[in-house]
């Protein structure tokens, strides 16, 4: 059951990555910048 849930999440993430790859990368960059600023 847990495997089915994790597989569903992975397939959803793959679909989102193909559609919103640039937006996803920008979010990661902003999070990293915020982390560095907080440190």
Q: Which of the two residues, 29 and 14, has the higher pLDDT score?
A: 29
Residue 23: domain span? 2-38
Q: Look at the chain and report how many structural domains it folds into.
A: 1
Task: Give alpha helix (H) positions in the chain.
Answer: 2-19, 21-38
**What is the pLDDT confidence band of residue 35, given thresholds at 50, 70 and 90?**
confident
Rounded mean pLDDT, 9-27: 70
Q: Is the pLDDT of residue 1 over 60?
A: no
User: What confidence score (pLDDT) does residue 19 get?
Assistant: 64
Q: How far apart are CA 39 and CA 2, in angstroms?
A: 36
């Amino acid at each position: 059951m847990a495997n089915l849930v994790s597989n569903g999440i992975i397939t959803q993430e793959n679909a989102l990555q193909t559609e919103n790859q640039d937006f996803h990368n920008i979010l990661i960059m902003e999070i990293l910048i915020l982390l560095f600023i907080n440190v």
